[in-house]
Structure 1
Amino acid sequence: MRIRLLRSTSRLNSNPYSSLPPSASSPPHPLPPLCMKKLKQTHARLIRDGGVGDTLTAGKLLADVVAFGPSNLGYARAIFSSIKPPLNTFIWNSMIRGLAHGSSPADAVALYNKMLAEGYSPNNYTFPFVLTACANLVDAAATPGLGLAVHGTLLRRGFEDFDPYIQTALVNFYANSGSIDTARHLFDRCRRRDVALWNALIRGYAQSCRFSEAVQVFRRMQDDSDRIRGDEITTLSVVSACAHLGALDLGRWIHSYIGKNQMRLTVNLGTALINMYAKCGEIEAAFSMFDEMPHKDVRTWSVMIGGLAIHGHAREALLLFTEMKTMGVTPDSVTFTGVLSACSHAGLVREGLRILEEMKTIHGVSPTIEHYGCAVDLLGRAGRLEKALELIKGIPMDLDVVLWGALLIACRAHRNLEMGEMAAKEMLQLDPQNAGALVFLSNAYASVGRWDKVEETRETMKERRIQKPPGSSSVEVGGIVHEFTSGDPSHPEMNQIYAMLDEISRLRSAQEPRHVAGAVSFDMDEEDKEQCLAQHSEKLALAFGLLKTRPGTTVRIIKNLRICEDCHSVMKLASEAFGRTVIVRDRARFHHFRRGSCSCGDYW
């Protein structure tokens, strides 16, 4: 993969200042940027001439300051405090609006309550700002009571069905609060739907990890709303959903949609597209997108480095990291996570440990528990389990389940039962409901014939009502994502799928007459083990992809768990036997299977 230096030039955009502020009866919208120096000169002139004492003039000044964004809230507060009562609703609304989008949205709710306490009546433009504040609260999902109270107030005042801005704010609030089904119910009741309303629902589904429904709503938006075009918020949400689903065809269509609608390719949108292509298995397309972007921020570089890492291009990721620093872009915590991950997947132990050390000493970035987790994974994959355990014991912060989980995975790969048992017990101390630790213990005990311990572990799982999370895999065919769950026979074409799996099994038996079903260690005979393995979700997705796509085309599979050894072996076989490229994204990385081998080099 070719990496060349990119040089970008900054462009300064200037827009003329419109002196006409939004009126109290107009919908909220941001004003064009304006030189704050000029605005402060205007303020000084008003003070000198006595014009600032006029409520309408002071209100317009306040609205202009608020329009500049959260960085000027201190100045806006000073103006608000200097306005002599009685205040009009427009002034209250302007200040609430500014606080709602600031770092302390709770202040907006407090000001709204003060407005009511002092006898002022909110109007239909007050409620969208207050609901925005409620949606922006850090604990909005945990404590939705404030938003519910505001909803109750606007119901009593007859505003719920009165104004499209209120309806959009309600949908947005419930979506942000984790009540996406309530948001959908309110959306379905709305007669007038603009792009902001559609965006609130699409983004809500994406934030709730219901990515398929986010895509479905977007498709419905295209079908039902000929006059409404998506904007940057729409495309960001849908591109994010495509990245999680591995829906490459739809992602490509969205990329084309951006061009056809002459949308400006912002840094945010370009970065999202890079992430989408990388997570859909098209790392070359991701890098081409990166290469063409004239402006990049630290997130853009970090996403590209992380994409190279999960595809196993460790050297390219490290080269890009070096180029990033050469270009004067300061790496952040996310950047280092990607770099350490790249080292881990390639077994670059020395480089990874050096980068972990240089994070703080050279770059001034304090390692987080996530970075230490990458280092433990790096050492564990390389078989240096004692060194990994030593690193864990020396970490100067509270340990978490993910950190011990990285060691546990390494112990399983290198069959170190003693240390794995210790790591699993540490995980259960932190999270007694952790299914992964208990499943490891059960399988590990079974592998050495300690059936009394197996039974004890299974009883613990039953008592705590813990079930192993089911494996699921998806494959995109004709722009539609088909999802399979291990052992689920509900797909309408399951007979054909099993026939294809039988063909793969026949080919495998001819090639590997004595392959062992080692990925399942429970107390069952070999025939039962093979039947269990044959129903793994990635095998079902593979069979369906082979059946439904043209010969020679790539099959892309997205899996929620790590791929097992048996399925990894089957993917290699299928890539050779059917002359296909098979790309599997599991929980840890990408595997590109071509001509009977995998890009990971069997190191995962």
Structure 2
Amino acid sequence: MKLFIPNCVAHIKILNFSSFAIKDYAFSSSKSTEHLRQTHAQLIRNGGIEDILTAGKLVADIATSNPSNLSYAQSVVSQLGYRPNVFMWNSMIRGYAHSPTPEAAIFWYRKMLEGGLFPNKYTFPFVLKACAQLLDRNQSLGLGIHGTVIKCGLEDCDPFIQTSLVNYYACCGYVDIARKLFDQCLQKDVTSWNALIKAYVRSNRFMDAIRVFRMMLHWTDIKVDEITVLGVVLACTQLGALDMGKWIHAYIDKNCIRMSISLGTALIDMYAKCGSIEVAKVLFDEMPLKDVRTWSIMIGGLASHGFAKEALTLLEKMQKVGLHPDSVTFTSVLSACSHGGMVDEGLKILDEMREQYNVEPTIEHYGCIVDLLGRSKRLDEALSLIRKIPLKPDVILWGALLVACRAYKNVEMGEMVAKEMLKVDPHHCGAHVFLSNVYASSGRWEEVENFRASMKEKGIRKPPGSSLIELEGDVHEFIAGDCSHSQIDRIHMMLNEIQGLLSLEGHVPRTVDISLDIAEEEKEQALFQHSEKLAVAFGLLNTRKGNMLRIVKNLRVCDDCHSFMKLVSKVYNRVILIRDRSRFHHFSNGACSCGDYW
């Protein structure tokens, strides 16, 4: 439907409140439904409903009291003997914008325009809120409404509309437009700051979210609220920025920001995913109120650190306090069993999910079991499970088995699994890379080149390795092969020193998985440039001896980097903590917590 944009008029008619409306209808925003119905009946009996201002206030009270009353408000409007005014339309739009059916707000907005009434500055914030609720990703609605705002001359003069525009574009993923409008805001309130921070978090631009928060603290005297700090905690979680996360936690305590269940759970998740699992456990134990998500987050944190028995113990405690695990909880529990090699426990829990807890297993749950069987070298059982489950196998299931095939060098099954993955998703990067590596390891370079050409033709690109390391509150990112960091020369010198020391320990670079027909020296140089190695060298250069190094990587740690980190932890007497996309690796004294299977 094409959006009608009305002409704006130069003046607005001023309405006078009738004395009847003020005397006989006590205005209130907190009336119960029964009281509203009584008031409605009284106004019908004494004729007060004929006064447009009184009727308008009644409609507003009904529409904004509770979403369940919106149909009642709609019936009041339809029974009026005269045309509703803009205030009534705005009340209906506002009510539906805050309801589970925000699309109805758009419907009322369009009816308002079709009726010949033009919106005012009180209309647009709620229409834009409805668009944001609907995640209007093609912008068809929002752009039309934004155009009307501009045509009415309200874009640059009303702070509420400006904030609503920022929030709309932010919620719909157009973060650069949101930032441009934010910078133009005459008055930036906490809502507009929060909208921008959340937009950056949703767009995975976590450093930008933290920069906006710092700017908010430095340039304004606006009081930070729970929503603000929640967004910043989420950003710290993804970046692995423990120091920044600790600072924001202290800020929350110092400024007496309410510690809701959501915020407490986010802090637990932050500490767990930043490698400080002990602090996460303390915070969890101190929380007076916990919901299912809190328990699930803590169980998942223990699982990712390899504390399988503790995770299962926590599941038992959860049930003792009367909370029932949900689908997410069981994903965390089965993941814990997988990382802990607890095959019997995992299979038992899978059986109990449906029978005892009435939770239907999903692809993710079966994926955990396939991973569990694969880790125990029971690849045939894992394949049999995939073939007999009631769900259609997807790349998650096949991918779990592919990891096991790669770990135990089962090339024949791995090749079959990778081909099955490509049937489900012809553009799956991991399957292409695995097959390319298989062919490369056997010297089948022509097939490797064919695969690489096919990937290029289909636009399939392996995401570059990226590693993050925090230093004094700033997060440094290293991309594989990138030389843009200001300390890159020193980092390369440090890597040369490390390589020399590791050679004395017998370390030989594992070049077998490099699917390029190049000289061995060039392969070693390619391994030398992996992002986590750059990050570790940077950490060794810039931290005190004995300090733990914490790194977050976007991909799975490769075999060579894994053996590299074990020896670095031994030679330099450092604990190195790496969070890859599978789990945490605690490297200490030449060993890793994953037991060399991840």
* Structure 2 CA distance for aligned equivalents of residues 95 and 224 of structure 1: 37
Aligned CA distance change for structure 1 residues 459 and 93 (closer, same or farther; 3 Å) = same
Equivalent position SS for 1:437: helix
* Residue 78 of structure 2 is aligned to residue 98 of structure 1: no
* Structure 1 CA distance for aligned equivalents of residues 66 and 539 of structure 2: 49
Structure 1: segments with no counterpart, 5+ residues = 1-18, 22-30
Aligned CA distance change for structure 1 residues 72 and 419 (closer, same or farther; 3 Å) = farther
* Residue 127 of structure 2 is aligned to residue 133 of structure 1: no
Cα contact 1:171–1:201 (8 A) shared by 2: yes
Match of 2:145 in 1: 150
Counterpart of 2:111, as a letter, is K
Match of 2:180 in 1: 185
> Which of 313, 319, 326 is the matching residue for 1:325?
319
Q: How does 1:346-425 map to 2 (within 5 A)?
A: 346-425=340-419
Cα contact 2:436–2:448 (8 A) shared by 1: yes
Match of 1:444 in 2: 438
Q: 70-79 or 550-559, which moves further after superposition? A: 70-79
* Structure 2 CA distance for aligned equivalents of residues 200 and 242 of structure 1: 17
Equivalent position SS for 2:108: helix
Match of 1:4 in 2: none
Cα contact 1:214–1:241 (8 A) shared by 2: yes
Q: With structure 1 as the length reference, what TM-score do the two structures score?
A: 0.90
* Residue 276 of structure 2 is aligned to residue 279 of structure 1: no
Q: How does 1:160-199 map to 2 (within 5 A)?
A: 160-199=155-194
Equivalent position SS for 2:464: coil
Q: How does 1:142-541 map to 2 (within 5 A)?
A: 143-225=138-220, 227-512=221-506, 514=508, 516-541=510-535
Cα contact 2:566–2:587 (8 A) shared by 1: yes
Aligned CA distance change for structure 1 residues 442 and 76 (closer, same or farther; 3 Å) = same
Q: 549-558 or 535-544, which moves further after superposition? A: 549-558
Equivalent position SS for 1:587: coil
* Residue 118 of structure 2 is aligned to residue 121 of structure 1: yes
Cα contact 1:497–1:543 (8 A) shared by 2: yes
Match of 1:10 in 2: none
Cα contact 1:552–1:579 (8 A) shared by 2: yes
* Structure 2 CA distance for aligned equivalents of residues 338 and 589 of structure 1: 12
CA deviation after TM superposition for structure 1 residue 223, in Å: 1.4
Cα contact 1:519–1:566 (8 A) shared by 2: no
Counterpart of 1:128, as a letter, is P
* Structure 2 CA distance for aligned equivalents of residues 350 and 85 of structure 1: 73
* Structure 2 CA distance for aligned equivalents of residues 381 and 207 of structure 1: 34
RMSD: 2.2
> Which of 97, 105, 108 is the matching residue for 1:108?
105
Cα contact 1:171–1:184 (8 A) shared by 2: yes
* Structure 2 CA distance for aligned equivalents of residues 306 and 533 of structure 1: 32
Cα contact 2:509–2:560 (8 A) shared by 1: no
CA deviation after TM superposition for structure 1 residue 151, in Å: 0.6
* Structure 2 CA distance for aligned equivalents of residues 304 and 513 of structure 1: 37
Counterpart of 2:159, as a letter, is P
Equivalent pairs: percent with the same residue?
58
Cα contact 2:33–2:69 (8 A) shared by 1: no
Q: How does 1:26-65 map to 2 (within 5 A)?
A: 55-65=52-62
Equivalent position SS for 2:88: helix
Equivalent position SS for 2:357: coil
Q: With structure 2 as the length reference, what TM-score do the two structures score?
A: 0.91
Match of 1:25 in 2: none
CA deviation after TM superposition for structure 1 residue 84, in Å: 4.8
Q: Deviations over 1:490-541 (max 9, x none)?
A: 1111111112111211221111155644443543343222211111100100
Cα contact 1:55–1:84 (8 A) shared by 2: no
* Structure 1 CA distance for aligned equivalents of residues 285 and 41 of structure 2: 48
Q: 555-564 or 310-319, which moves further after superposition? A: 310-319
CA deviation after TM superposition for structure 1 residue 54, in Å: 5.1
CA deviation after TM superposition for structure 1 residue 125, in Å: 1.2
Q: 348-357 or 299-308, which moves further after superposition? A: 348-357
Equivalent position SS for 1:474: strand
Match of 2:17 in 1: none
* Structure 1 CA distance for aligned equivalents of residues 252 and 76 of structure 2: 41
Bigger radius of gyration: 2
CA deviation after TM superposition for structure 1 residue 272, in Å: 1.0
* Residue 565 of structure 2 is aligned to residue 565 of structure 1: no
Cα contact 1:246–1:476 (8 A) shared by 2: yes
Counterpart of 2:89, as a letter, is W
CA deviation after TM superposition for structure 1 residue 112, in Å: 0.6
* Structure 2 CA distance for aligned equivalents of residues 370 and 296 of structure 1: 24
* Structure 1 CA distance for aligned equivalents of residues 75 and 295 of structure 2: 40
Match of 1:12 in 2: none
Q: Deviations over 1:45-92 (max 9, x none)?
A: 666776566544444344344445545545554555455543232222
* Structure 1 CA distance for aligned equivalents of residues 249 and 470 of structure 2: 17
Aligned CA distance change for structure 1 residues 57 and 349 (closer, same or farther; 3 Å) = farther
CA deviation after TM superposition for structure 1 residue 334, in Å: 1.3
Q: Deviations over 1:200-253 (max 9, x none)?
A: 11111111111111111111111111x112111111111111111111111111
Aligned CA distance change for structure 1 residues 113 and 593 (closer, same or farther; 3 Å) = same
Aligned CA distance change for structure 1 residues 78 and 597 (closer, same or farther; 3 Å) = farther
Cα contact 2:159–2:186 (8 A) shared by 1: no
Cα contact 1:298–1:331 (8 A) shared by 2: yes
Cα contact 2:407–2:597 (8 A) shared by 1: no
Counterpart of 1:382, as a letter, is S
Aligned CA distance change for structure 1 residues 364 and 157 (closer, same or farther; 3 Å) = same
Equivalent position SS for 1:362: helix
Aligned length: 573
Aligned CA distance change for structure 1 residues 78 and 585 (closer, same or farther; 3 Å) = farther
Cα contact 2:440–2:514 (8 A) shared by 1: no
